[in-house]
Structure 1
Amino acid sequence: MNTLTLPDIAAQISAHQQALDSVGMQDIALPINLAGQRINTRADVGVSLDDGDARGIHMSRLYLALQALEHDALSPATLQQLLDQFLDSHQGLSEQASIQLRGEALLSRPALISPLTGWKSYPFEIRAHQNSLEGYVELQTEVAYSSTCPCSAALTRQLIQQRFIEDFANQALDHTKLLAWLGSPQGIVATPHSQRSYAILQVRLHKECVELPLVELIDVAERALGTAVQTAVKRADEQAFALANGQNLMFCEDAARRLHSALREQSAFSAFHLRVVHAESLHAHDAVAVSRWNWNQS
């Protein structure tokens, strides 16, 4: 019988005697339960190596601890417990622990008018950090929407006014003829440009927050913007979407301010950082606006 003890190379003394900010693993396949569904994610995990004499950490302990997230619904509490386990399993070696999860949530979204529904994919990231004194949990997601340029809309209206003057100058207005003109390419000679746009939202959760409000964050953003991209639509839905775009003209600055105001009203968030990107259809570059609240102070 072989009675030799298996070697533990990680427990050996380091030849360099240098502490490290973080050591761990990235891109670990991990299923989680979030927003009422099973989601495949990729996880990055790590702990600090504060003992400069130690050669390495026990990575298998981090990997095995992740199994707890496969069964229970993901929450700030379960993330806290996981990071505490990371640190407990590395007593004397590590004082800080972190995890980052990346995935996509599929949410069923209704059409604007018709009874149709369809699925939309929302990429998200969850980041949690813990040390001996405090910890935090952050949630990030991306929301796609349509933005119609206010300047383009104003220039379009002016062109239509000019064409109206040209076509009806010194004429008595006939209701039937005018209605036909308004419904024809001859009358509506221009349309404002719009583009698919994106809002990247990062929020830090209050310590009292008991859930990960991914769906709530998405809903808040889409209500504030008013023109979230659609899934299944009929013509009535497409017309309603055109109306929503016309009533929600937005520069990137407007979108950022709307989102800032909406997030400030949410009691679950202690800080946030948002970035909106309008993928311009007029220019070859994108328009970008950034806003934050308490982010640098957190």
Structure 2
Amino acid sequence: MNALTLPDIAAQASRQALPLDWVGMCGIALPVVFDGQRISARADAGVSLDDGQARGIHMSRLYLALEMLEQQTLSPALLREVLQRFLDSHTGLSNAASLRIHLDLLLKRPALVSPLAGWKTYPVVIEARLENAMFHVELKIDVVYSSTCPCSAALSRQLIQQQFVDDFAQKPLHHADVLAWLGSTQGILATPHSQRSTARLHLRLGDYLDGLPLIALINDAEAALGTAVQTAVKRADEQAFALANGQNLMFCEDAARRLHLALKRSPGVNGFRLRVTHAESLHAHDAVAESRWNWGAA
């Protein structure tokens, strides 16, 4: 008995001839290699369906092409090679290919003062597209930091000043008395509010880069803000963090401007847009600021 040929339904003509912008798969589990780490990731892979007569694409061919990501370090060149394989396996059907990789980048971060260190994750999305021989790569990175309100700090200082006047108006000033007052809750009776905040960075990279500058971009952003959240800490680290917050008072507008200037100087960045969110501890709503450079109109 002759073996039956398996039917290829996708190769059949569509009953409704119409091209489609994107067809593919989302949430594909796979490992990727970055900075010597093998990282668990999820990929969205797809191509355009420009042949409106074709019923569908060959999704298994996209899936098999993703195996390249398991063996080689993530780079623009590797992403382009994967996308080219998407298109080569869909000759006559597709003119554009895209790949989106979601991962949590795990970095070990030192404490501010003590010899401690701990791990911190940074959500990252890598997006690549190849269309009509034009290739580009974009990164999305979330950076979490602390923000202390300048207005609240000023109001707190005013209350402390008034308390100082009230407590010492009728007595001579002695160094020991003032020092004790400064270390008491009676003296420092008000503190400014601060909150955990998030910077969401969306960056377009130059296609000439040899690698993906994820760590350098994260370092640039955290250095510009000055108050990245910590991992393992001792009391000396917590005190240093309080000092960093006091020296980096910022509204969301300040944070957005700091990041804008820092990212504009980052090598390999051709354009960006950013959004900072301060999850207010004073209000029941968030304070948000956005900025962009070389990105086009909103």
Question: By how many angstroms is 1:2 displaced?
Answer: 2.8
The equivalent of 2:280 in structure 1 is 280
The equivalent of 2:218 in structure 1 is 218
Q: Does 1:53 align with 2:53?
A: yes
For the aligned residue pairs, the C-alpha RMSD in angstroms reads: 1.1
* 1:35–1:214 CA contact under 8 A, matched in 2: no
**Where do residues 256-271 of structure 1 align in structure 2 (5 Å cutoff)?**
256-271=256-271
Equivalent residue letter for 1:80:
R
Question: By how many angstroms is 1:7 displaced?
Answer: 1.1
TM-score for the superposition, normalised by structure 1: 0.98
Tell me which stretches of 4 or more aligned residues in structure 1 moved more than 4 Å: none
The equivalent of 2:241 in structure 1 is 241
The equivalent of 2:37 in structure 1 is 37
Question: By how many angstroms is 1:267 displaced?
Answer: 2.1
- How many residues get paired? 298
**Where do residues 143-292 of structure 1 align in structure 2 (5 Å cutoff)?**
143-292=143-292
Q: Deviations over 1:77-105 (max 9, x none)?
A: 00000001101110110000001010101
Secondary structure in structure 1 of the residue aligned to 2:277: strand
Equivalent residue letter for 2:158:
Q
- Say which is worse superposed, 212-221 or 147-156, in terms of deviation: 212-221
CA distance in 2 between counterparts of 1:129 and 1:14 reads 26
Q: Deviations over 1:203-226 (max 9, x none)?
A: 111011110111111101100000
Percent of pairs identical after alignment? 66
CA distance in 2 between counterparts of 1:216 and 1:35 reads 12
* 1:35–1:215 CA contact under 8 A, matched in 2: no
CA distance in 2 between counterparts of 1:192 and 1:275 reads 24
Structure 1: runs of 5 or more not aligned: none
Structure 2: runs of 5 or more not aligned: none
Question: By how many angstroms is 1:146 displaced?
Answer: 0.4
The equivalent of 2:107 in structure 1 is 107
Equivalent residue letter for 2:41:
T
Q: Deviations over 1:136-170 (max 9, x none)?
A: 10111111100000000000000000000100013
Equivalent residue letter for 2:50:
D
TM-score for the superposition, normalised by structure 2: 0.98
Q: Does 1:122 align with 2:132?
A: no
CA distance in 1 between counterparts of 2:36 and 2:288 reads 33
Equivalent residue letter for 1:98:
S
Secondary structure in structure 2 of the residue aligned to 1:171: coil
Q: Does 1:86 align with 2:103?
A: no
The equivalent of 1:69 in structure 2 is 69
* 1:146–1:194 CA contact under 8 A, matched in 2: yes
